[in-house]
């Protein structure tokens, strides 16, 4: 009741109340999308006269509002007020999910989409969607091949103004970002941030396959792209060798060969194929077993060639997977499946051996190296 007396003018659409009638009239433009104030220079429209006045300074270059702390200039008072929070450290906008604080309300709104997974800005060319409008605008330039920002020195063009500004420093030699620890200077803030990690020892980028940590993102990408990750090599070899111990338990009553050498047909360019295990079943039926690091390691060539030599093809994958290959004569078992089969074979005579094999499987899954029956867990040391 008290609010109605203080704010007698109510919006009929969203029920928001206002002290004055002209405030309500101005607010209604939010709903009607009315923008009666036009810029004579570029034609951009605004719902408020003050917004047009502030916008016009973009064309005149006028920046009458000056920060007393650092001297930076602004075209409108609101941006100066927001900037001052950098000096005061004030962060009045708080995320109710994780309590992270922000100096600007739109930073909080963008952050909230991390929790809600909301991506309201969709690309009209592809299926991608984005949490922020400016990311969508930058993305659209990929489809249109638009590069509106051109270097005056070398005529190189860029999609984003920030990229041009960074590039210009190559020509000017400017390095405005200084390290407070050693005084070294850098062209970009991201280079400074990466450099500071050499002092702090921070390594925020971690390989999900082998656990090795890196101070720079491009180093992690290079590590993965160029197969320098030991998980691609050492763990695959060790998994293959471990499969021999597994086969000795699972096929103890069957006739089988380890690493059989088989002549390949014409469709394969190599002379021989060597799967890990060849099992001879009843009625001269053959089963091939090939150890793979993951289901993604299974090649089309494997699926083309192996069925020519065996009735059933097994792929033993170290990395657990829910995917399966749709084929009646191809079976995919991951390490969890194999552990289940081993547990069914446990007896008084082999229980210690099976426990040891299962332990080694678990270590490989976690990205640890097995050497001389000893688990080495210091693989991610640099």
Domain coordinates of the chain in residue numbers?
203-230, 233-376
Fold of 233-376: Trna Endonuclease; Chain: A, domain 1 (3.40.1350)
> What pLDDT, on the 0 to 100 scale, is given for residue 373?
38
Tokens at 259, concatenated: 């690493």
Distance of alpha carbon 296 from alpha carbon 319, whole angstroms: 10
The reply to whether the predicted model has a pTM over 0.75 is no
- The predicted-structure confidence for 230-268, as pLDDT tens digits, reads as follows 556 667 788 888 899 999 989 888 888 898 888 776 656
C-beta separation of 258 from 276 below 8 A: yes
- Beta-bridge partners for 278: 257, 288
> What pLDDT, on the 0 to 100 scale, is given for residue 369?
46
CB atoms within 10 A of CB 149: 17
Distance of alpha carbon 224 from alpha carbon 208, whole angstroms: 10
Distance of alpha carbon 46 from alpha carbon 53, whole angstroms: 10
> What pLDDT, on the 0 to 100 scale, is given for residue 152?
92
Q: Which residues of 190-215 are buried (b: 16+ CB within 10 A; e: fewer)?
A: ebbebbbeeeeeebebebebbebebb
Nearest CA to 184 out of 194, 56, 281, 339 is that of: 194
Distance of alpha carbon 162 from alpha carbon 10, whole angstroms: 44
Helix pair angle (234-250, 351-365), 10° resolution: 150
C-beta separation of 315 from 292 below 8 A: yes
With a CB cutoff of 8 Å and minimum separation 6, the contacts of 173 are: none
- The predicted-structure confidence for 81-93, as pLDDT tens digits, reads as follows 888 888 888 888 8
Check residue 216 and give left, alpha or beta (phi > 0: left; psi -120 to 50: alpha). beta
Given a cut of 70, the residues of the chain with pLDDT beneath it are: 1-5, 208-211, 226-234, 265-270, 367-382
- The predicted-structure confidence for 176-227, as pLDDT tens digits, reads as follows 899 999 999 999 888 898 899 999 999 888 876 666 788 888 888 887 776 5
């Amino acid at each position: 009741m008290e609010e109605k007396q203080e704010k007698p003018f109510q919006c009929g659409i969203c029920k928001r109340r206002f002290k004055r009638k002209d405030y309500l009239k101005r607010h209604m433009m939010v709903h009607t999308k009315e923008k009666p104030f036009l810029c004579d220079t570029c034609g951009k429209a605004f719902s408020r006269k003050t917004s047009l006045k502030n916008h016009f300074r973009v064309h005149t270059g006028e920046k009458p509002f000056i920060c007393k702390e650092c001297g930076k200039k602004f075209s409108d008072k609101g941006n100066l007020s927001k900037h001052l929070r950098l000096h005061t450290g004030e962060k009045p906008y708080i995320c109710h999910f994780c309590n992270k604080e922000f100096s600007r309300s739109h930073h909080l709104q963008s952050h909230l989409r991390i929790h809600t997974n909301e991506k309201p800005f969709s690309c009209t060319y592809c299926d991608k969607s984005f949490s922020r409008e400016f990311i969508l605008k930058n993305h659209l330039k990929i489809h249109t091949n638009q590069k509106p920002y051109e270097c005056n020195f070398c005529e190189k063009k860029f999609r984003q103004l920030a990229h041009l500004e960074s590039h210009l420093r190559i020509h000017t030699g400017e390095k405005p970002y200084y390290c407070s620890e050693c005084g070294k200077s850098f062209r970009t803030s991201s280079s400074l941030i990466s450099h500071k990690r050499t002092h702090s020892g921070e390594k925020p980028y971690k390989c999900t396959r082998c656990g090795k940590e890196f101070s720079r993102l491009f180093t992690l990408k290079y590590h993965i792209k160029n197969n320098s990750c030991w998980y691609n090599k050492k763990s695959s070899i060790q998994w293959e060798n471990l499969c021999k111990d597994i086969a000795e338990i699972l096929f103890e009553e069957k006739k089988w060969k380890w690493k059989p050498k088989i002549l390949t047909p014409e469709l394969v360019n190599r002379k021989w194929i060597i799967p890990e295990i060849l099992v001879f079943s009843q009625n001269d039926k053959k089963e091939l077993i090939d150890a793979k690091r993951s289901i993604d390691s299974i090649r089309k060539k494997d699926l083309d060639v192996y069925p020519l030599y065996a009735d059933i093809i097994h792929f033993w994958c170290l990395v657990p997977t829910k995917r399966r290959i749709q084929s009646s004569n191809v079976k995919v078992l991951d390490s969890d499946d194999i552990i289940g089969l081993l547990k069914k074979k446990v007896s008084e005579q082999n229980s210690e051996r099976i426990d040891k094999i299962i332990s080694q499987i678990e270590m490989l899954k976690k990205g640890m190296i097995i050497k001389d029956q000893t688990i080495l867990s210091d693989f991610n040391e640099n």
